Amino acid sequence: PFVSLAADPAVISPQDPTLLVGSSLVATCTVSPDFHLKAEDLYWTLNGRRLPAASYTTLSPTTLSVALAHLNGSKQQSGDNLVCHSRDGGILAGSCLYVGLPPEKPVNITCWSKNMKDLTCKWAPGTEGETFLHTNYTLKYKLRWYGRDNTCQEYHTAGPYSCHIPKDLALFTPYEIWVEASNRLGVAVSDVVMLDILDVVTTDPPSDVHVSRVGDLEDQLSVRWSSPPALKDFLFQAKYQIQYRVEDSSEWKVVDDVGNQTSCRLAGLRPGTVYFVQVRCNPFGIYGSKKAGIWSDWSNPTAASTPRSERAAGGCDPKGGEQNTTLRRELKQFFGWVKKHAYGCSNLGIKLYDQWRVWLQKSHKTRNQVGKEP
């Protein structure tokens, strides 16, 4: 655009250029005749640092140029400040230099749908990211065969490189999803990801997680929870995972084989100890989808303590409790055996109990024979 020299003390050319990293530039500062300044009265700064006189050339009595070679990427996304000054330090004119690289192709697009109602996607910028120039990211999506391009509007919902589509999504039809990155030096487009909403469903964490003692068993706790309420009207399977830790530890132990049960017994715990327990859910096979499903967040931790060991307290059983104690000892033995032979949270059925009785008889027999040996 035409600039009236009378309006400004001086004009810099080129004004606000965009350049590739490594470029060179010659800029000129032309002073308005009204200001009675000469080229020799001028000097240049870049980001507040005075540029050496050796890089200046006087092109006319009122025009001074500066040569910049091998420019590095801009220190700030708003551009580097190239300023022309009068001898007394006054600012006559300024220009912003935008020095950077074209955007790289965005990568690693992953998406998930909370309870089949919406879709959130995130991605990673290329290796250089946005080091020098501000880069705009736009997530686009369309129904695979007959859709028109739609643009996602709600950015930064799940981190800096993410977007959320809140509603109006179709089921049973695949979507094409891609991300476009643009800055002052160009545009780069990611690969297209194809997905069906049914294949990327996650839920809220399981609700109503209850942890309670198992009678007086000092090494066990029972965990119960409800399946995700938002999916109760859909045909789906769920698998669950539990993690638990001792109150004064930050290390979680994971129970991986809970399957689709909504209760589980934790065994082999320390007596008289507070445990924190969390549960998460993976809905899969929704309306027959073949994909694995996505784990929910963990539920808020629920705390419970195991009973104190009576032995540790130094107490002794009153005579009347002997039968009770035998039963308790056998139960403890049984659950210890289950822990060893029936991994994790398998169904504690009668069949398993029978197997244990057989194992117990065998071990008694062996012990008796060993006793008879001379």
From-to residues of CATH 2.60.40.10 in the chain: 10-100, 107-199, 204-306
- Give the integer Cα–Cα distance in Å for 72 and 46: 12
Please state, for a pLDDT cut of 90, what percent of the chain lies above it.
26
DSSP at 174: -
The rounded mean pLDDT for the chain is: 81
Residues 6+ apart with CB under 8 A from 281: 203, 205, 206, 227, 228, 238, 239, 240, 295, 296
Alpha helices by DSSP H, the chain? 310-313, 322-341, 350-372
Q: Are 133 and 147 in contact (CB under 8 A)?
A: no
pLDDT band per the 50, 70, 90 thresholds, residue 144 = confident
The mean per-residue pLDDT over the stretch 153-162 comes to 88
- Residue with the bigger pLDDT between 66 and 332: it is 66
pLDDT at position 315 over 50: no
The mean per-residue pLDDT over the stretch 122-148 comes to 83
Give the model confidence (pLDDT) of 334-371 as tens digits: 776 666 655 555 455 555 656 666 666 666 666 556 55
Determine which of 14-28, 234-248, 294-308 has the lowest per-residue pLDDT on average. Answer: 234-248
Q: Which fold has domain 204-306?
A: Immunoglobulin-like (2.60.40)
Q: In the numeric block, which tokens belong to residue 156?
A: 């930064």
Q: Are 97 and 25 in contact (CB under 8 A)?
A: yes
What pLDDT score was predicted for residue 314?
Answer: 38
What pLDDT score was predicted for residue 81?
Answer: 92
What pLDDT score was predicted for residue 181?
Answer: 93
pLDDT band per the 50, 70, 90 thresholds, residue 27 = very high
Q: In the numeric block, which tokens belong to residue 319?
A: 């005579």
What pLDDT score was predicted for residue 276?
Answer: 92
The mean per-residue pLDDT over the stretch 43-50 comes to 91
CATH superfamily of 107-199: Immunoglobulins (2.60.40.10)
What pLDDT score was predicted for residue 320?
Answer: 45
- Residue with the bigger pLDDT between 270 and 328: it is 270
What pLDDT score was predicted for residue 38?
Answer: 87
Give the model confidence (pLDDT) of 285-297 as tens digits: 777 777 777 899 9
- Give the integer Cα–Cα distance in Å for 234 and 5: 71
Q: Are 187 and 101 in contact (CB under 8 A)?
A: no
What pLDDT score was predicted for residue 291?
Answer: 76
Provide φ and ψ at 11, rounded to 5°: -130, 135
Q: What's the whole-model pTM score?
A: 0.65
Q: Are 240 and 228 in contact (CB under 8 A)?
A: no
What pLDDT score was predicted for residue 355?
Answer: 64
pLDDT at position 318 over 50: no
Strand partners, 159: none
pLDDT at position 122 over 90: yes
Q: Which fold has domain 10-100?
A: Immunoglobulin-like (2.60.40)
